[in-house]
Structure 1
């Protein structure tokens, strides 16, 4: 079994190929091709085959993650989309929650709906929340609305009728009429995308799916054509935002499910190595060329959420983006990557990000036309990166260009030296990430000091130890081949599908019959939506429920016991809810509970070999190959750092910082007062002295 994982990032596209027969692992990293992302995939698959002395014909499965959907939404490059809704609900997308995300901002702006008002049309029908038909569907009004959207050159149509989650009959009939009148137009109905109450969130999620559907379909078709042309005949799978994978046909139908596929995969890779190292609570830190992501992993499982927003008008302000009600790995993302641009602000301070140089033109040191200083330029000037060893020597870095960019745009305007400006950039981006990590973990009822930090991504290991010190974290884990950890996460990801049913009712009215009926519906949907190659007996299920105190406006998800006795379900549900609520808010209340939604997550693990150690059989020492002068963030002074080749470090051999550990895809910087070794699974474990760590 040969499996390839590929992850398209904002700056680099990463690949991992695992041959389960021989245990051989090949990795590859290349610049992303923004004009046509499939070009980078085509190049990577070809390169991996050549390295293995084989062809793409031998690859059994490919798992792919892409930023295509979220980029289409942020850049407003999706399809011309129309919306058909119940009469009187045309403006749901603009009315939203009728809530200001910043009460004191007099110039407040909300993201514009993906569908403009002239393309939001109404039809005559009405469904009760119970599913009872109050007004039959007027098909004449449907024909009129569809024809108007066809005449407006709509490429995709979203259908979201009132209370269709309770009875989808009217939506299905509208979809049939669209197919009859315009078979070339893509159709998305909310009862398939999100059969859940809350009109605004359901409409927003449905329109986003419709908006991304044509562009996703074209991209996936082109991607398939390129890899099939190389002889690949295996299964093409897509990474989902939930941390699982599903078929490419599923992604074509529900592109909203792959909106955050790359970040989710990285968290899975971190969870895998955390399990191997017996770390029960870790903070996964993924820093690439464009963004940094942080996610909490407990007992080998990434936390997930169903409340998610994209295209924020203001970063870190909930309510300022477009709501997407899907299951996603619960993470925070900030504009802090190797390509993040540093600049002097009008008031004379230093700012880093969120703007990025991306893959084109890239940082100044890439020598591809970029002239503005970035985090990578600062890391090179500080001695952390080897200009001759970047990407294993395949890409040379221009140190003089980095120095000139920092001198011209930062050092001279700020009246400081180039080295001071470079460390300012490095320190500010680390402090930005530390602040985000503290806010994120506190919202989850956790303290970062109680976690280990798993650092990965192309730029992550450079910054991980200093970030850990700022968070008072004492244990750092850098997985093998950390620069392509997200692509590896795709290989170890299970096949998954998540189903939901809204059944708003008081907990006291829950009956065993209702519970069995809902679970049967959810299980049938999961089995239908899982790839046909998955055997039903290999599927495991996790049953959970969204609940709240009567009168509250927001839900809390609580996972129910695997062996749930339906006769005692109410007590088990209350216990699970109170456990989750107490962790978030510190207390519970003697108030009646109501159930909002039932959820079922289906998962089927894929057999993937354990990753062999990253060391060679000849390794006996600490892999030291020399030294390099670099700036130590702990002592705030220049020091001689020992330089080690990671592939030559023997398991169990300890060495002290300051040290730099290099591999082809990433570089790990270990500052003073730290000690490192490689464990039996190839992970680099670093212990920071408690006395030198600081909050």
Structure 2
């Protein structure tokens, strides 16, 4: 009787889900331990195991922000870069777009390159775009470079030679020679063999940068789990929603940079609704993504470590990464986002987060700055005793003191007005993220269902949905640990890609499929093993390409490209096309799992729900703030399992999250324990933030974490400009 475990390490909480052989679910939520993430994981795993025999665990799936944090906090390994003679300055020169306030900075300095100029080296060799050797590799020069790198104490090297995707022989020989002197060597033809040498180089550098960190962490995690008696292999969620073995994740660590957000999107995609706006609000960030026809949007390039809103993912704002990733927008708006008043007397919220240490003021762990969680507690949305299943008791007096001292006093408004303004600013920031993945891309969100999850998402979802005319919000069961639960829905997969002009498609696709199968140690054609083929296609003579499913028929492939072109750019464009590259994703699907059911024992997330018995009325009533009713209003509070149907204002609670049902909305419980919020008639109109001296107006920008309407318009124009092929 096998069990599987999903582990999601977030900025504030670590969530663990144990699924039993008959579908029973046990959950745990505990504070993340940033100095050693494995510490918090062990606490959560021990809690969900209870009396379960650890040897029965056959699968552990992990989503981690380790790679992301290593990039953002510059905690990766020191990397040396080796390239073809004449191209050493490619990385120091870089590429950067000014965004937000950088546009107006007359003393602007671009960010430091991912590799210092002094650690960039070149070797004599040259291969052309067809793979023909124009200049043989100078092996003696490579050996000298290796000795110099070792002398400097650098332990990780990224190698990206010109046109190595067409002929990797020189790169492989360089790696053999360098490994005599340097422990870790990563080559671009192994990481992501696509043309465009700058993006291929930065992707290789990032893999060399975070690879040693990821490899060491996964070894320590496996050892800690073994101490608990769990010897099952550890799998890691990749950025595109697949799952890879830990060994592969260590070799291609760059593919895990968006590991955490991907898991939540899978949970939203499993909600049963075809067209979804995924809305995930945790303790540190909020993430949104569009799911169409049950499939998340996938991008094949994103940026990390840049300035600006939405995680610095906008083109040119950070280090470009050429690897598949679920296409989402991310903002620094979470329960732990710190609210503050700037020098001009304007209220801000985020992107800086109090995290799990010291955490919001109401945690009582030493933090004294007000956060979104403190504001929600002041507004009466949260129950101080049952937050996070009772594992983190909240202290309302500390929240009130922080709001009064840092916000209400300086702004000259009441405590409630200040707290509600913080709540609305967070909603505006998250609305900007929804705008990016929908309106800015030509998608009308009004026909979509919003699926809300994360510890804080259900508290804010109805307000965010109202801004876009979205009239249905679904809060699935186990919404507070949805990312951890989503991990268990991921298929074991590996993707291989190759840029190849004028190549034999059958030969290339077969080779890629065999290589991807070898990554997973599976055999093509075996039960549960499938291979999805696609191609990068462009109009002949244009610079940009789009990825479409492969077809052996040239006419059908061109038709798929033209349809995709119309979807992305909004215009009809016909003409001859050419294939730029090929992709194959091999997937091993696990046996279908039994439907999830609540387990009996209590965990650190609180008593498990049974969902049985006749529906009851509200469990209690408390004062909660709703501007539509004039302020604080006696509000019924329901346990999720006891809810039948109720009109707002109301609050619905369970062990992992709190659902706020504003006036104008109705909430009902479905058979799968989801709570569905429906707007009464057309979705409620947007509301303004609470008034006050300097209180932030709706949509007003923070310095780093928000966008104004004007900026959103500018971004839309820029996106249209960047999106034009040619």
Q: The TM-score by the shorter chain falls in which range? A: over 0.9
* Equivalent position of 2:539 in the other structure: 549
Q: Which deviations, in whole Å up to 9, do the C-alpha atoms of 1:631-683 show, x marking residues without a partner?
A: 1255453222211111334xxx3222211111111111111121121212221
* Equivalent position of 1:588 in the other structure: 572
Deviation at 1:618, TM superposition (A): 3.1
* Equivalent position of 1:272 in the other structure: 270
Deviation at 1:540, TM superposition (A): 2.1
Deviation at 1:331, TM superposition (A): 0.5
What secondary structure does 2:573 align onto? coil
Task: Please list every run of 5 or more consecutive structure 2 residues that lacks an aligned counterpart in the other structure.
Answer: 599-607, 687-726
Q: How far apart, in 2, do the equivalents of 1:375 and 1:29 lie?
A: 19
Q: Normalised by the size of structure 1, how large is the TM-score?
A: 0.93
Q: How far apart, in 1, do the equivalents of 2:624 and 2:610 lie?
A: 28
Deviation at 1:503, TM superposition (A): 2.2
Q: How far apart, in 2, do the equivalents of 1:103 and 1:293 lie?
A: 26
Q: How far apart, in 2, do the equivalents of 1:100 and 1:502 lie?
A: 30
Q: How far apart, in 2, do the equivalents of 1:597 and 1:588 lie?
A: 23
Q: How far apart, in 1, do the equivalents of 2:244 and 2:324 lie?
A: 14
Given candidates 69, 84, 109, the residue that maps to 2:82 is 84
* Equivalent position of 2:492 in the other structure: 495
- Which structure 2 residues correspond to residues 379-394 of structure 1 after superposition, within 5 A? 379-394=376-391
Q: How far apart, in 1, do the equivalents of 2:628 and 2:65 lie?
A: 36
Q: Which deviations, in whole Å up to 9, do the C-alpha atoms of 1:107-149 show, x marking residues without a partner?
A: 4443322211111111111111100111111110100001100
Aligned: 1:641 with 2:635: yes
* Equivalent position of 1:11 in the other structure: 12
Deviation at 1:526, TM superposition (A): 1.5
Q: Which deviations, in whole Å up to 9, do the C-alpha atoms of 1:330-387 show, x marking residues without a partner?
A: 1010000000011112211111111111111100011101111100000000000000
- CA 1:23–1:315: 2 relative to 1, 3 Å: closer
Deviation at 1:593, TM superposition (A): 2.6
Aligned: 1:404 with 2:384: no
* Equivalent position of 1:509 in the other structure: none
Aligned: 1:339 with 2:327: no
Aligned: 1:138 with 2:138: yes
Q: Which deviations, in whole Å up to 9, do the C-alpha atoms of 1:566-595 show, x marking residues without a partner?
A: 2xx221121111111111222123443332
* Equivalent position of 2:529 in the other structure: 539
Q: Which deviations, in whole Å up to 9, do the C-alpha atoms of 1:153-201 show, x marking residues without a partner?
A: 111111111110011101111111122334xx11111001011000010
Deviation at 1:534, TM superposition (A): 9.2
Aligned: 1:435 with 2:432: yes
Deviation at 1:10, TM superposition (A): 0.5
- CA 1:536–1:91: 2 relative to 1, 3 Å: farther
Given candidates 46, 59, 62, the residue that maps to 1:61 is 59
Contact 2:370-2:402 within 8 A present in 1 as well: yes
Q: Which deviations, in whole Å up to 9, do the C-alpha atoms of 1:428-454 show, x marking residues without a partner?
A: 110111122112213443112121100
Given candidates 502, 511, 514, the residue that maps to 1:524 is 514
Given candidates 271, 275, 280, the residue that maps to 1:281 is 275
Contact 1:364-1:371 within 8 A present in 2 as well: yes
* Equivalent position of 1:25 in the other structure: 25
Deviation at 1:58, TM superposition (A): 2.3
- CA 1:573–1:457: 2 relative to 1, 3 Å: same
Deviation at 1:215, TM superposition (A): 1.2
Aligned: 1:297 with 2:310: no
Contact 1:615-1:648 within 8 A present in 2 as well: no
* Equivalent position of 1:222 in the other structure: 220
- CA 1:149–1:544: 2 relative to 1, 3 Å: same
* Equivalent position of 1:238 in the other structure: 236
* Equivalent position of 2:584 in the other structure: 600
Aligned: 1:668 with 2:668: no
Number of matched residues? 670
Q: How far apart, in 1, do the equivalents of 2:367 and 2:98 lie?
A: 39
* Equivalent position of 1:321 in the other structure: 318
Provide the aligned C-alpha RMSD in A: 1.9
Contact 2:615-2:641 within 8 A present in 1 as well: no
Q: How far apart, in 2, do the equivalents of 1:531 and 1:627 lie?
A: 56
What secondary structure does 2:623 align onto? strand
Contact 2:514-2:524 within 8 A present in 1 as well: no
* Equivalent position of 2:668 in the other structure: 677
Contact 2:498-2:583 within 8 A present in 1 as well: yes
* Equivalent position of 1:621 in the other structure: 615
- Which structure 2 residues correspond to residues 94-113 of structure 1 after superposition, within 5 A? 94-97=92-95, 106-113=106-113
Q: How far apart, in 1, do the equivalents of 2:370 and 2:511 lie?
A: 55
Q: How far apart, in 2, do the equivalents of 1:590 and 1:186 lie?
A: 47
Given candidates 639, 646, 656, the residue that maps to 2:647 is 656
